[in-house]
Amino acid sequence: MKCNIAVIRGDGIGPEITDAALSCLYAVGVKFKHEFNYTFPLLGGEAIDATGVPLPPETIEMCNKADAVLMGSVGGPKWDKLPGHLRPEKGLLGIRSAMGLYANIRPAFLYDSMKNASPLKNEVIKNGIDLVVVRELIGGIYFGERGQRRTERGQEAYDTEIYSVAEVERIAKTAFELAMTRRKKVTSIDKANVLETSRLWRATVDFVAKNYPEVTVEHMLVDNCAMQLVKNPSQFDVMLCPNMFGDILSDEAAMITGSIGLLPSSSLGVGTHGLYEPIHGSAPDIAGTDTANPIATILAAAMMLSSSFGLNNETLAIQNAVNKTLNAGYRTADIHSSGFKKVSCSKMGELIAMEILQG
């Protein structure tokens, strides 16, 4: 199969972790006889430096022409003082919107070999952690009307949360369809005791649920959910979240599995055209040191092979290679502890690629 992939290497550790992922895709191509063709559009800080804007028009064109997009990381303190519309993160929000990617899928899985790295007690994680956060991606408070104004109380700022029934329906359907392939449970997260948008969200989720009688549905307030994730994470299967709540809770879910550097995400719309990335940021403090953890980006590439190309065996090959490498005791700096073998970012990529070829 020929696969055309737009690779956004991005800022900070982005080039290092994407290079490691590409080495694993090369191994997949050799083992399974696929041809991966790459383009390298600019986005975020690197785009600002080169073009003056975080999302050049040619980037949108290149991403929409590709079969899928693999991305490293975006942002950094170098660009923090720019106006909001010129910040690197504006480019990320923009490409999601331009590609029509409304569903962000973030799995959180605790490997047996990583239980010692979880900050939770053994009795809390004895039943494991295997959940998926389904986050609405192009609506809510991140895309509502915003601004600043002068009032009698002085200067104030505002951000507006808006959700339509149609927006909630489509992300709810994504969550329910995913739950049907897993343990058939959806926990919908909201703040319905306070927010009008959450009351609409809850009512719409209940309406969609009628089409999935096999799926158990529960509603949970976001503050309670934050507590339950560290109290009893094994209770969760599919977590359905509005944009901002999903953004926050998925990072919490990542950390209780041992490291934010282990978990990938996919951003999907209609069809198979998607964007795949690690859930962590650009980590500018370690950029260029070859110490970052590339596993999240490698697993994002695995998600891409499955969701955009239907290559399930190839996805499994990458996942198994990651698991074998961790079981063999190799660790990057973020997950290293006494008794394990510390390796660099590039070396971790090489080890996983080697396992793919030998598996």
Per-residue pLDDT of 327-340, as tens digits, reads 999 999 999 989 99
Tokens 């329910």, located at residue: 176
Q: Is 211 helix (H, G, I), strand (E, B) or coil?
A: coil
Per-residue pLDDT of 224-246, as tens digits, reads 999 999 999 999 999 999 999 99
Rounded distance between C-alpha atoms, residue 307 and residue 271, angstroms: 9
Residue 171 has what pLDDT? 98
CATH topology of domain 1-101+261-359: Isopropylmalate Dehydrogenase (3.40.718)
User: What number is the average pLDDT over the span 138-156?
Assistant: 93
User: What number is the average pLDDT over the span 118-138?
Assistant: 95
Calculate ∠ Cα 69-180-198, nearest 5°.
Answer: 75
Strands (E), 191-237: 216-221
Per-residue pLDDT of 23-72, as tens digits, reads 999 999 999 999 999 999 999 999 999 999 999 999 999 999 999 999 99
Provide the 8-state DSSP code for 113. G
User: What number is the average pLDDT over the span 181-208?
Assistant: 98
Q: Cβ distance 74 to 91 under 8 Å?
A: yes
User: What number is the average pLDDT over the span 191-197?
Assistant: 97
In the chain, CATH 3.40.718.10 sits at 1-101+261-359, 119-256
Q: On the CB side of 240, how many CA atoms lie within 13 Å of its CA?
A: 30
Q: Does the pTM of the predicted model rise above 0.85?
A: yes
**Average confidence score pLDDT of the chain:** 95
Q: On the CB side of 266, how many CA atoms lie within 13 Å of its CA?
A: 21
Residue 191 has what pLDDT? 98
Checking if the pLDDT of 84 tops 90, the result is no
Six token digits for residue 9: 């290497």
User: What residues are labeled active site?
Assistant: 142, 191, 223, 247, 251
Residue 94 has what pLDDT? 93
- Label residue 258 by pLDDT band (50, 70, 90): confident
Query: Quick one: how many helices (H) and strands (E) in the chain?
Result: 12, 14
Query: 119-256: what CATH class?
Result: alpha beta
DSSP 7-72: EEEESTTHHHHHHHHHHHHHHHHHHHT-EEEEE----THHHHHHHSSSS-HHHHHHHHHSSEEEEE
Strands (E), 51-153: 68-73, 103-109, 130-136, 146-151
User: What number is the average pLDDT over the span 296-324?
Assistant: 97
- Label residue 359 by pLDDT band (50, 70, 90): confident
* CA nearest neighbour of 64 among 137, 6, 139, 8: 6
Residue 46 CA: distances (Å) to CA of 16, 59, 97, 292: 14, 12, 20, 19
Per-residue pLDDT of 160-169, as tens digits, reads 999 999 999 9
Q: Which residues contact 301 (CB under 8 A, 6 or more apart)?
A: 21, 24, 25, 70, 276, 318
